[in-house]
Amino acid sequence: MDWQGQKLAEQLMQILLVVFAVAAFITGYVVGSFQLMLFVYAGGVVLTTLITIPNWPFFNKHPLKWLDPSEAEKHPKPQVAVTSVSKKKPNKK
């Protein structure tokens, strides 16, 4: 799953869970059954899981292009500059 696919999966998960929560609340309120409300919401969670967790092809529309190992050796990693200057506060007594 690429980066945009992960973002899409997260957005779908949030939207679907809210939609199923509202639908479950309305269903439970109209019918007057707390148990039915929980079943509707649990079904929504299962459906959301089946939609967002597997690596479906529509989550891979923007694949990353990696460098070949030989090409990566030509471009060394940037080094972090280390500065050892420490600023200590003077002791006040």
User: For 42-91, what is each residue's pLDDT tens digit?
Assistant: 999 999 999 998 888 888 888 878 777 777 677 777 777 776 666 666 66
pTM above 0.95, yes or no: no
Inside any domain, residue 17 = yes
Q: Structurally, how many domains does the chain consist of? A: 1
Q: In which domain, by residue range, is 37 found? A: 3-54
Inside any domain, residue 66 = no
Buried b (16+ CB within 10 A) or exposed e, 61-86: eeeeeeeeeeeeeeeeeeeeeeeeee
Inside any domain, residue 76 = no
Inside any domain, residue 72 = no
